[in-house]
Amino acid sequence: MKLEELRFGTELIKRGFASMQKGGVIMDVVNAEQAHVAEDAGAVAVMALERVPADIRATGGVARMADPQKIIEIMDAVSIPVMGKVRIGHFVEAQVLEALGVDMIDESEVLTPADEQFHIDKTRFSIPFVCGARDLGEALRRINEGAAMIRTKGEAGTGNVVEAVRHMRAIMGGIRALKGMDNQELIARAREIEAPADLVIECAKLGRLPVVNFSAGGIATPADAALMMQLGADGVFVGSGIFKSSNPEATARAIVEAVNHYDDPKVIAGVSRGLGEAMKGLDVHTLREEEVLQTRGR
């Protein structure tokens, strides 16, 4: 091996890391004990948080990056990758998480945005980023800034899958609509959706996003997770849905299996039996405008 030929943090390594998560479930955890439950259930990674989104909603105030002590506690507890959230545009929180050695950063609308104009320039980091999106244009703007993975925003902390469905349909439908367009039409579409033309052309050619596309924001049951997979997700994030349910261990295992067998209703029926209460959840139509998280960053 030629040492001078070593390269760290290339696009291939960042997107490759995201590819290794495909077909998997990434679970929000707030301590070492929950991280163990997630790993034992078969999670492909955990998101280390101070509070799950449902509690962030309940607590109010400014939501920031978690205490590094908390993140280190979780990193020490498990062998699977550990992710952490930073505020939109807060590149110093991202520098801190990179210094701690987290495996991926989520630039997340669940935390209070630090910059209402710009997202983080993710090309300046050697660790990969995941970002939320509500439609194809937003997904491609984030990829253009260096995101190695996209997730639907959904409406975090509600346990209500309706917004994740809306966003996944918008992204997948947006890609399907590119089919059959010639180059000029693709460039015109790129202008309409405020996305770089080269990325729109790449999507048309691939028939999908050029990076891994997960679903997040309201997934609470095995059937929710399988729904998002059938709609075209490469995997799912489950936030409050596991540790706000009455039986987190069983719910975590059931969601992992539902993602693995997303196209087999018999398996989904089997794993859904006797799970107890799912998280209570919120009707997104009752949220006040300032309580809606998905409109943060665009």
Minimum Å gap between C-beta 30 and another protein is 20
Q: Which parts of 147-186 interact with another protein (CB under 8 A)?
A: none
Q: Which of 23, 68, 210, 270 binds another protein (CB under 8 A)?
A: 23
- Residue 215 bridge partners (DSSP): 236
Taking the C-alpha atoms of residue 199 and residue 266, their distance in angstroms, rounded to an integer, is: 39
Q: Which of 6, 61, 69, 192 binds another protein (CB under 8 A)?
A: 6
Span from 8-16, 187-195, 237-245, 282-290 in contact with another protein (CB under 8 A): 8-16
Stretch that binds another protein, among 99-107, 199-207, 244-252, 289-297 (CB under 8 A): 99-107
Is residue 32 within 8 Å of 91, Cβ to Cβ?
Answer: no
Helix 136-144 to helix 197-206 angle (10° resolution) is 110
- Choose between 86 and 186: whose C-beta lies nearer to another protein: 86
> Does 192 help bind another protein (rule: CB under 8 A)?
no
List the one residue from 30, 37, 44, 242 that touches another protein (CB under 8 A).
44
Near another protein by CB under 8 A: residue from 31, 95, 112, 260: 260
Among 59, 92, 101, 249, binds another protein (CB under 8 A): 101
Residue 84 interacting with another protein (CB under 8 A): no
Is 227 in contact with 163 (CB distance < 8 Å)? no
* Residues touching another protein, count (CB under 8 A): 38
Q: 181 by DSSP, 3-state: which?
A: coil
Interaction between residue 79 and another protein (CB under 8 A): yes
Annotation says 85 is catalytic: yes
Amino acid at 192: E
How many angstroms separate the Cα of 152 from the Cα of each of 75, 161, 251, 274? 25, 11, 21, 29
| Annotated catalytic residue, options 2, 14, 70, 85 | 85
Q: Given the rule CB under 8 A, which of 62-70, 84-92, 126-134, 276-284 is the region that contacts another protein?
A: 126-134
Contact 179, 48 (CB under 8 A): no
Q: 66: closest CA among 87, 45, 44? A: 87
Q: Which two tokens stand for residue 281?
A: 């959840």
* Residue 20 or 269 with smaller CB distance to another protein: 20
H/E element, 185 = helix 183-192
Alpha helices (H) in 9-155, listed in sequence order: 11-19, 32-41, 53-59, 68-77, 91-100, 136-144
Q: Strand locations in 141-244, DSSP E?
A: 149-152, 212-214, 236-238
Q: How far is CA 30 from CA 73, 77, 258, in A?
A: 10, 12, 23
Distance in Å, CB of 127 to another protein, minimum: 6
Site of interaction with another protein (CB under 8 A): 1-2, 5-10, 12-13, 16-17, 19-24, 39, 42-45, 75, 79-81, 98, 101-104, 126-128, 256-257, 260
Q: Tell me the catalytic residues.
A: 85
